[in-house]
Amino acid sequence: MVPRHGQATRQSAFTHLSQPGHQRKTGGDLRRQRRSARIYLFVRASEKESTSFNPWNLLRAAPRALNRAQGPLGAFGETNGASAQVNAPAPDDWDPADAKDKYKTASDLPFQVALTGASQFIRTGSAGANFGARVAPARADQAVTWSTDSDLVSLSQKIGPSVVVTGQNKTEQAEWVAIKAAAANGIYALGYVHVEPKYIDPPKVLTPPTVNQPIDGKATVDYKIDLGGRPDQSLVSWFLCDDVAGKNALKVAVSRGNQPLTALPLTPGYVGKFLKVTVQPKHRISESGPIVQAFSTKPISASDVTTTSFSPNFRNFVADENESNASGLWTVLGNWRVVPGDIATEGTGAPTTGFLDNPLLVPVEKLVNGYGIRPNGPSSLLLEQDVDCGDMQIDLTLAPEKQGTVFSVPGSPDE
C-alpha cells in the first residue's frame, strides 16, 4: 500500500542547540537522526496515541482538509470563516485499506503537532520566547496544551495555539528547558529554550592590565577584576603595533568559549612589533564591560620566540578579512567563520558553546582545541614567508561534515 498523502510519523523536532536529554518516561524505542543542523526525536507512541495512525484517519483526507461543516481553511491552518484565503477540499474518504468500518470512530484524530519557535534563547528579566503550535490533520481537535517540568520558566497560558515563555532563572547558571505542546489525545512536540539568569553589571576593574615581558615563548597579561567569586570570562584580545603608542594595530588573537586569552604564543612574524592587549571585564551573568588596555614597553625580539612552527589555534584565531600580506603572519581572504565542534555528537546532550554559530558536525576531541574554521564561499588562508625555506612538514586536519546520506522513496521495501 502506498500512502497517498505521505507517511505520517510522530516526531518532536528541535535544532542542534536543543538538549536531547529530555525523553518520554513511558519508554519505547528511541533513535536520533541528524539532518543538517536539526535533530529529530522519535518516540514510540502510547496505545491511545497510536490509534491516530490508523489507515482510515491517515488516508481519508489530506492533512489540511476540513470536514464540510468546518468551512474554509485559513492560510495557517486555522478556520476563519469568510476571511479565509485558502479553501481546502473536504475529505474525499479514500479507503484503499478498507478500514472505514473498523476505524470509523477514530477518523479525525491528531497525528502531529507542528511547532514554531523550536529552540530559542531568553534571559530572566527580559522579553520571553514565542512558541506556536498547529495540530494535524486540520479537521482534528485543534486544542493545544502547553506545559513544562521546570521552574526556571513561566508560561503565559496553558491552553491555546501559542504561548510566551518567560525566564524565571534565579540561579547563576543558564540551562535548557523543554516546552511541551500536546494535542488532545497526547500527541506532542517539544521545543526548547535556553534560559539565562538575570544579568548584573560587568565586574569592576581593580588593577588595570599590564603586559609582562615574554617568558618561554609567550607574552602574558596580568589584571584584577571584582568577580565576586565567579569564573573570569573576560574578553582578552591581542594586537601587533608599530610603536609603543599602538600605531597601526593589527588584531592577531581573541578569546572564545568564555576562556580569557591571558597568554599569547609568539611566532616569528611578531619580531620587531610591540604588543597591545585589550580586556573587557566579564563573568557568567554579565555582559562584557568597557575596554581597558595596555601596551608592551619593548618590541618582541628574535630571542623571545622559541618556535619556528605555525599552528593556528582556531579558538583564538582572528577570522576577519586581512590583506596585509605581512611576512610571518596569516593573510585571510574571503569569508571565514570560526566555529566550535559539536558536543552533541559525543552523546553528552550538552549545549554547544557559541550558540549563534552552527557547530561543525564533528566531535570536539577530533579538532585542535575544540574549534575549527569554515569557509563561506571562495576563501583562502595564506601564511606569508618572505625568507628562504628548506624542507618543511605540513599537517592538516580536515573534518568532513557530511556524515551520511538518507534516501526516501514512497511505498514499502516489499514493493
Domain with 35 in it: what CATH number?
A: 2.60.40.1080
* pLDDT at residue 2 is higher than 50: no
* pLDDT at residue 13 is higher than 60: no
User: Model confidence at 68, in pLDDT bands (50, 70, 90)?
Assistant: low
pLDDT at 326: 86
* pLDDT at residue 66 is higher than 80: no
Q: Are residues 181 and 35 in the same domain?
A: yes
Q: How large is the average pLDDT for residues 353-357?
A: 41
Dist. CA 242–CA 34, nearest whole Å: 49
249, part of any domain: no
Number of domains in the chain: 2
Between 253 and 356, the more confident residue is 253
Kind and range of the H or E element at 56? helix 55-59
Domain with 383, as residue range(s), is: 322-415
Q: How large is the average pLDDT for residues 357-383?
A: 80
In this predicted structure, which of 53-62, 67-76, 116-125, 165-174 has the lowest mean pLDDT? 67-76
pLDDT at 105: 86
- What is the Cα gyration radius of the chain? 28
377, part of any domain: yes
What is the value of pTM for the model shown?
0.70
259, part of any domain: no
Which tens digits make up the pLDDT trace of 159-184?
Answer: 999 999 999 999 999 999 999 999 99
Which tens digits make up the pLDDT trace of 80-138?
Answer: 333 333 456 678 888 888 989 998 888 889 999 999 986 789 999 999 999 999 999 98
pLDDT at 119: 77
pLDDT at 347: 33
Between 16 and 49, the more confident residue is 49
* pLDDT at residue 72 is higher than 70: no
Q: Evaluate whether 363 touches 342 at the Cβ level (below 8 Å).
A: yes
Contacts of 169-174 with CB under 8 Å at 24 or more apart are: 169/124, 169/195, 169/196, 169/197, 169/198, 170/124, 170/197, 171/197, 172/197, 172/230, 172/284, 172/285, 173/197, 173/284, 174/284
159, part of any domain: yes
Kind and range of the H or E element at 47? helix 47-50
* pLDDT at residue 368 is higher than 90: no
User: Model confidence at 8, in pLDDT bands (50, 70, 90)?
Assistant: very low
Q: Within 13 Å and on the Cβ side, how many CA atoms surround 152?
A: 21
pLDDT at 340: 85
Which tens digits make up the pLDDT trace of 293-308?
Answer: 999 999 999 999 998 8
Which tens digits make up the pLDDT trace of 275-286?
Answer: 999 999 999 999
pLDDT at 7: 31
* Listed residues 196, 219, 246: the one ending a domain: 196
For residues 244, 282, 251, 269, the Cα torsion angle rounded to the nearest 10 degrees is 80
169, part of any domain: yes
Sign of the torsion angle spanned by Cα atoms 185, 139, 51, 20: negative
Residue listed under C-alpha cell 604588543: 275
103, part of any domain: yes
Kind and range of the H or E element at 331? strand 330-333
* pLDDT at residue 18 is higher than 80: no
Dist. CA 117–CA 130, nearest whole Å: 6
* Listed residues 196, 221, 236: the one ending a domain: 196
133, part of any domain: yes
* Listed residues 153, 178, 196: the one ending a domain: 196
pLDDT at 361: 67
Between 211 and 29, the more confident residue is 211
311, part of any domain: no
Residue 341: strand pairing partners: 360
| Mean pLDDT for the chain overall | 79
User: Model confidence at 401, in pLDDT bands (50, 70, 90)?
Assistant: low
DSSP state for residue 127 in the 8-state scheme: -
Express as a percent the part of the chain with pLDDT over 70. Answer: 75
